[in-house]
Structure 1
Amino acid sequence: MAEKDIQYYETQEDKTKWQSTKEFIWNPRTRQFCGRTGISWAKIIIFYIIYYACLVAFWTVMLLVFYVTVDSNHPKWKLDSSKIGSSPGVSYRPSPPEKNVDSTLIWFRRGNASESKYWSDSLKDFLEPYQVEEGLKECDFGSTRKPEESCRFNLNSIDNSCSSSQNFGYDMGHPCVLIKLNRIFDWEPKPYDSDSIPQNMPENLKNDYNSSYVYISCEGENPADKSNIGPISYYPSQGIPNYYFPFTNQPNYLTPFVFVHFQNPTISVLINIECKAWAANIKYNKKERLGSVHFELLVD
């Protein structure tokens, strides 16, 4: 090859980082901004405007369909057709502190105001909505209520031993524990027939059974627990009147409950307690905790 046919190319000097950055931001030779020409930027901007507009339109339509098919006041699936089912759970208050969220132990020392304060304050907070009386109906077995009305739960009918003025007995070591049924929309208790009363129902409930109530009973789980639990009282009564049901998301609805008063539990002994709810349509399974609730009580 002749020397005159050889072409020599000059290599550009290495650019500094700052020069490369400036050229990336704006390249005067190619008239590119951040690696794209004006036409390229216009195309990509128009594409994403159309893309996100379609996404917004799609999800807007989906939300509209959702709100059209769902009633904000009534669930679409209820009782047996729902995941919750038709057998209400049982729960208790006061609950242990959040730091012990997995615990079911109520533990305090008699006469220790700082320890008993948590438990009594927890009950006071739970009962605060029950102080409101406006918009509530005075219900009894001789009257009927409209579906949109809520019954008043009268705290004055509860014995003074389980009152806030006595700190619910925690100061004296005779604690009160609140037992309630969890809300299930449209659920109503079904009474036992005379031939279907469970054999394991406490004798006092069998003898005085009234089909107008859902009954609550608490006892020690094991023989040692039964001997250590001591005498128990229930306030305002051992049964929850049926006129509080069903719950249909009515305004100001107050969940009815029973206060269980442990009058003299054995000191410094851990007591395993199980509380059950009694109605023909409340399923009971100890292993799965259906129809009952378990907690431990330790008074030092």
Structure 2
Amino acid sequence: MADKKPAESQFYTRPPQLGKWESLRVFLWNSETKQFLGRTGGSWAKILFFYLIFYAVLTGFFVAMLVVFFQTLDYKTPKWQLDSSLIGSNPGLGFRPMPPESNIESTLIWYKHSDKGNVQYWQRELNKFLNHYNRSNNAHADKLEDCRQFQSPSPNKVCNVKIDQMWHPCVKDAGYNYESAEGGPCIFLKLNRIFNWIPEYFNSSTVDQVQMSPGLKKEILEAESKNQHQVVWVSCEGENVADIEHIGPIRYIPQKGFPSQFFPYKNQEGYLSPLVAVHFEKPKRGVLINIECKAWARNIIHDRVDRRGSVHFELMID
């Protein structure tokens, strides 16, 4: 009996030393305490029940907020428009065809007219872009109407952009003039869409308030005399003195701007953005030409740094 240890000393006896694998085995399942991963079955049930309730409430709250949010949305009309929106009320210009995506930051249209493979890339890009303007490919073709110049379409209709032989050589059958041995290519311009934006057109009393080429001013005044000045005008020219010298004559098809029947854009079904095909009739070969195109309306502000109201690209034909 003298060799027996007191109960107090037995209570503080160290637990037996276990090896790594033995410790892992006991952690996974302790047969003495009936614990799995350090918890009993009751403890696991409580914690799982807690998280089940917690995430159910969290999911319900998130879904409720989404329902409230979608109740405030109009799928056809943006809540914030024009100056209240992020894109503002100053439309920019876009051009097609675009350079390959591998060089997405480039704005250079560079090709060799005698190189079929090189030319075909630009032609394919234009084919894809203009495919939507083919009435048979438009899912809302029944909404399209051949509008008269400067007259709004009928209710629930939109104006058609009909690209026919009047656009020659800026048509598919002519290869958009990229294979011409002497002439230059066709570049298509489009005005970026801004919901409910209405252009303020130039007339004889406002045309002198901005700096524009004398030729464009003359065209605006002549159009006003025929009551045909309700146009967002377009002009393209070389950016520098050398570019102006090398760019050559330019033809605008079907006219030098976007007429009023296409405005305002209100997210109409089947709506087609108006186009202007810019045909560079005889640009200098083997020279890089910097080109700037501008859209002209009283409420379009031009900023070359931010490319507001304009677009820049380069043209080089070998």
Task: Identify the TM-score tier after normalising by the shorter chain.
Answer: over 0.9
Task: Indicate the residue corresponding to 1:240 in structure 2.
Answer: 258
- Number of the residue aligned with 2:217: 206
Using a 3 Å threshold, how does the CA distance of structure 1 residues 147 and 65 change in structure 2: closer, same or farther? farther
**Would the aligned equivalents of 2:150 and 2:261 in 1 still touch at CA under 8 Å?**
no
Shift of 1:220: 0.4
Q: Which residue of 2 aligns with 1:177?
A: 187
Larger mean CA deviation between 7-16 and 236-245 belongs to: 7-16
Contact 2:150 2:260 in 1 (8 A): no
Work out the number of aligned pairs and report it.
Answer: 298
Residue identity matched to 1:288: D
Q: Say yes or no: does 1:255 pair with 2:259.
A: no
Aligned-partner SS, 1:180 = strand
From 121, 126, 131, the counterpart of 2:129 = 126
Provide structure 1 residue ranges, at least 5 long, that are not aligned to the other structure: none
| CA apart distance, 1:241 | 1.1
- Counterparts of residues 5-44 of structure 1 (less than 5 Å): 5=5, 12=16, 14-15=18-19, 17=21, 19-44=22-47
Matched, 1:279 2:297: yes
What is the correspondence of 1:1-300 to structure 2 with a 5 Å cutoff?
Answer: 5=5, 12=16, 14-15=18-19, 17=21, 19-132=22-135, 134-135=141-142, 136-141=144-149, 143-146=151-154, 148-156=156-164, 158-172=166-180, 174-198=184-208, 199-209=210-220, 210=223, 211-300=229-318
How many angstroms does 1:229 deviate by? 0.4
Contact 2:187/2:279 (8 A) holds in 1? yes
Cα offset for 1:289? 1.5
Greater shift in the superposed pair: 145-154 or 32-41: 145-154
Question: Which whole-Å CA distance do the structure 1 matches of 2:258 and 2:151 have between them?
Answer: 16
Measure how far apart 1:73 and its partner are: 1.0
- CA offsets, 1:69-89, max 9 Å, x none? 111111001011111111101
Identity %: 44
User: Under a length normalisation based on structure 2, what TM-score does the superposition of the two structures give?
Assistant: 0.88
Q: Aligned partners of 1:189, 1:10: CA distance in 2, in Å?
A: 88
Letter in 1 for 2:107: T
Q: Aligned partners of 1:4 and 1:27: how far apart in 2?
A: 30
Q: 2:99, 2:199 → 1: CA distance?
A: 29
Tell me the alpha carbon deviations over residues 156-212 of structure 1, each in whole angstroms, 9 at most, x when there is no partner.
Answer: 164221111121111126111011110000112111232211453233332231322
User: In the aligned structure 2, how far is the partner of 1:12 from the partner of 1:74?
Assistant: 74
Question: Which secondary structure does the structure 1 equivalent of 2:283 belong to?
Answer: coil
In the superposition, relative to structure 1, how do residues 10 and 47 fare at CA in structure 2: closer, same or farther (>3 Å)?
Answer: closer
Q: Distance in 1 between matches of 2:184 and 2:76?
A: 41
Q: For residues 89 and 144 of structure 1, do their structure 2 counterparts lie closer, same or farther at Cα, with a shift above 3 Å needed?
A: closer
| Partner Cα separation in structure 2 for residue 195 and residue 67 of structure 1 | 47
| Gap change, CA 1:10 and 1:277, over 3 Å in 2 | closer
Please give the root-mean-square deviation of Cα atoms over the aligned residues, in Å.
2.0
Q: Are the counterparts in 2 of residues 157 and 236 from structure 1 also a CA contact under 8 Å? A: no
